[in-house]
Structure 1
């Protein structure tokens, strides 16, 4: 599932509010076809906002800093023990 971008939440709220105002205007003016199209757009914007609210929060897990040790040298290759 593609989630809406959380950074777009304020933009989606602005769109939803604008659509509500336009629907009210269309209703006052009797523009039934316009009102129907705006309601479809409103449903889409509201659905995206619902998806944002349901989006699982990201969990940050501290995995720590890996410790890198020097590679071990096999005993038979250590220079101090030449035979």
Structure 2
């Protein structure tokens, strides 16, 4: 998020007009969460096979579970502003 923050601010600067609402309010959340969601989807892709194949009391299994929790949190954090930007909440 530290890498995509400045790019998201620049995208917001380019898409929001001086007066009135933006015609494209979804651009800033898309740019802001692009890299974190990419890494979260990769974590999802790598963690699911580990959870299926690793034995029950192993560090690999607990690391995969933590990665899935963090990925789920990232998806939830990205989904809220995106749905708010398209007008679902208000």
TM-score (norm 2): 0.46
Question: Which structure dedicates a bigger proportion of its chain to helix?
Answer: 2
TM-score (norm 1): 0.49
Larger radius of gyration: 1
